[in-house]
Amino acid sequence: MTPLLAGMLYRLRQALRALAAFCRRLLPEGRLYRRLLAVVTVVVVGVGAYVVYASVIRHDPSCGAGVEERGPKKECTGVTDGAVVFAPPLKQVSERIKAENDAVAGKTPVTIALMVPMISSNPAEQRELVEQVQGAYLAQYRANHRSNNQRPPVRLLLANPGHNYEFWRPVADRLVAAAASETENLRAVTGINISLDATSAALSYLTNTKGIPVVPGPLTGNDFANTAERPHAYRGLARVVPTNTDQAAALESYSAGAKKDETMVVEDIREGDNYLATLRQAFERLARGAKNAPETFRSPQDFNDEGNLSNDFHQMVPDICASDATTVYFAGRPVQLRQFLVELGKRTCDKHYTVVSGSHAATLTVDAKFADEWSSLTRGAGITVRYAGLAHPDAWSEGSPGTTREAREAFKEFSDLAAEFAPGSAHPIGPVSLTDSRTMVTYDSVITAVAGIRNTTVGAIRMPTLPEVAGGWLRLHGTHTVHGASGSICLDQYGNPYNKAIPIVHLDPVAKRAVFDRLAWPQGRPSPANCTAPNKPGGN
């Protein structure tokens, strides 16, 4: 019996006793009155029982062990070992995680948590969330079955902080308890994936307040990184993807020679979103000296909402046509990018446009609402949509310039694992998509955490401490560079991936997918094979 139910039953008994005493004082003695008292008691008990049923049993706030309903939408949030399925598309992969966790029980495993929202009303975002869980599972399986029996084995927790990390605090506190537990031994949190104010608060709480090492996933906002100016912004943070500024630098090296007079920035000025803020800054720098002032808009607070921005973009397009701009830097989230492209496709001017955006543009490849709008890119003189991807499977093919043997082998290992658990296999985890980068990046987030933990588990150490794991990030360079599915991850002294290769891609309206163009680097050229970041102000 839950404490809530026990408390309600106790109060009901007390109320019945009080009612009986009141009736005895009020009603005279006699059989008729005793019967009346009995009827009243039955009615009160019936009403009380219904209240208990309606408020506790029928609407039990528990969604399963470690997970409960929170907020007006009654979203199931919390932490599970795979026993609780947050959303139907997660069923298969959750079952595999639970089976893997059960298999390592009793073998002194280390626990790693994947902390990302697990539920979304946006089908494209839900697809990406599933991919991130799939990537984490593939990394767990690799650690437990493809690493020559290295210790410790890995237990994986799924931590759902709610939509836009609304309930990050109770979920983070559950992870803190797991870190303090000598049986759970949580040593890293991975996956954190959206550059929002709430994400920053969660990240700071985990790293700075509680000392838990964190390896985020597709987190690109500049403020979510340690730098020479802020070397301890997040103590114990290791990143696996380039920042928005690094992406812009790679795009600039790819498109060297673009005429400033023919560029324009279209930017979302909504506050509280570091992805937008740093993408604006990066693109304004690329367009510095352009004739045209930025065109601005403000998206809804929930960036998955459509709002009425199609109207704004409809009014904006004639001004873009009237300008000299042929390259548009779009600093916005995927929903707004889709709306903009559809309106730009309706333009009356006969000019070809190149629209350049950030890594989150990859979501368009899985956006069901864009599935019928690819023709927007072929109307008139056409639109080329180009962005800096976080990962792309074609980047590591044999003939791709700038690839290394280690990177090609690491990607093949990952793709073989993904095929092993594809639909139709003995233990499927659902369709695994690679072209929008989420599966690959989350896989890299977890294998980087595993590498840091196992590099610290040497000699007599069977289970490293939290500070020892955080210190392990400092050695993930040179011969200890992590070769991931998204490329080689060579951490600088601040825990950032130094000069990581960035695939430049474009959307192909015929194939309806993201097509790899070539690799580019923030520094304009690849790093030496034995990567060591230079010790200089600014790091990367």
pLDDT of residue 1: 46
pLDDT at 31: 61
pLDDT in tens, 162-203: 999 999 999 999 999 999 999 999 999 999 998 899 999 999
How far apart, in whole angstroms, are the C-alpha atoms of residue 72 and residue 69? 9
96-120: per-residue pLDDT in tens?
A: 999 999 999 999 999 999 999 999 9
Average pLDDT of every residue of the chain: 88
Please tell me the chain's helix, strand, coil percentages from 3-state DSSP, rounded to the nearest 5.
Answer: 45, 15, 40
> What pLDDT score was predicted for residue 22?
59
Which residues, other chains included, contact 134 with Cβ-Cβ below 8 Å and sequence gap of 6+?
A: 93, 418, 421, 429, 430, 432, 439, 442
At 2 the pLDDT is: 45
What's the count of helices (H) and strands (E) in the chain, helices before strands?
A: 13, 16
Burial class (CB within 10 angstroms; exposed 0-12, middle 13-18, buried 19+) of 124? buried
Q: What is the pLDDT of residue 401?
A: 73
Task: Please tell me the predicted confidence (pLDDT) of residue 11.
Answer: 59
**Which residues on neighbouring strands pair with residue 355, listed in sequence order?**
328, 385
CB 539 within 8 A of CB 491: no
Q: Under 8 Å CB-to-CB from 271, ≥6 apart: which residues?
A: none
Residues 115 and 437: their CA atoms lie apart, in Å, by: 18
Distance CA 175, CA 159 (A): 8
pLDDT of residue 300: 95
Query: What per-residue confidence (pLDDT) applies to 436?
Result: 81
In the predicted model, residues of the chain with pLDDT beneath 70 are 1-61, 256-257, 534-540
Structure tokens at 344: 């730009």
pLDDT at 539: 38
Give the predicted TM-score (pTM) of the model.
0.86
